[in-house]
Amino acid sequence: MKPLVSVIIPLHNAEKTVERCISSVLEQTYDNWEIICCDDCSSDNTCEKVLRFCEKDKRITLLRNEKNMKAAYSRNRCIEKAAGKYIAQIDDDDYCAKERFESQVEFLENNEKYALVGSNVYRFDENGVWGESEMIEEPEKKDFLWNSQFINPSVTFRADALKAVNGYRIEKITNRTEDYDLYMRLYTKGFKGYNMKEKLTYYYRGENSYPKCKYRYRIDEAKVRHQNFKQMGLMPKGIFYVIKPLIVGLIPMGLIERLKRRKQH
């Protein structure tokens, strides 16, 4: 029997995109899955749209937070509810290629040394696909000095590995870096991941992806880097990379995004 895949989707004000996201799971070539959504106090029609899916397909569940708790908390609620051998992530404004779960489950079934598998991705906005991201296939600890080595909505985990580190860390300093923090903690515990060459996820990078980021979040990221680099044995050589977000934070995000797009063409 095929192993069950639990697809977790944190939701917040996603009425314009959530149908596309969930439909991309319904259209998968791999069919032994469940979807667990957690709405973080949306003020639009997100929940109404998800409930229509729930009525048609009993494999889809909707949880709701009583107050706004952010994505890491919502993902942890989904992880606690998940019954699958594997836990696949997708965000409410992204969507999956049809073969994503079939490819990633086959990979994990045949490669026991890896605790998680991500993929390369297409980047898109309101006008369609504008670029792509190609990740290191077999990231090592040292690769995390520069940045996270996995694109979060492209990743499928072994559930036992994810639960071994208690999922996402919910603290003030991880509010904008919970993904990066999670992967570094997994590597600290001895888990390893792999990125498939195939582009299996469509990753939204549009106008709403880069809100003005308060500089205090850059300070928090520097703290998260310092904590994890120490645990990973990357200090003191990692000190320059600890201060990297403090330097990058001085550059407008819009400019960084324009440079990325220019590089794609």
pLDDT-derived band at 252 (thresholds 50, 70, 90) equals: low
- Domains of the chain in sequence order: 5-209 (3.90.550.10)
With tokens 């003191």, the residue in question is 236
Strands (E), the chain: 5-11, 33-39, 60-64, 86-89, 95-96, 116-125, 128-133, 156-158, 193-204
- Per cent of the chain over pLDDT 70 is 92
Cβ neighbors of 250 (< 8 A, separation 6 or more) are none
Phi-psi region of 206 (alpha: psi -120 to 50; beta: other; left: phi over 0): beta
Predicted confidence (pLDDT) at residue 168 exceeds the cutoff of 60: yes
Predicted confidence (pLDDT) at residue 62 exceeds the cutoff of 60: yes
pLDDT-derived band at 248 (thresholds 50, 70, 90) equals: confident
- Per cent of the chain over pLDDT 90 is 87
56-61 — which CB contacts under 8 Å span 24+ positions? 57/26, 59/33, 59/34, 59/35, 60/22, 60/34, 60/35, 61/34, 61/35, 61/36, 61/37
Predicted pLDDT at 249? 81
Q: What average pLDDT does the segment 196-208 reach? A: 91
Predicted confidence (pLDDT) at residue 134 exceeds the cutoff of 70: yes
Predicted confidence (pLDDT) at residue 100 exceeds the cutoff of 90: yes
CA angle 221, 262, 202 (to 5 degrees): 65
CB atoms < 10 A from the CB of 232, how many? Answer: 17
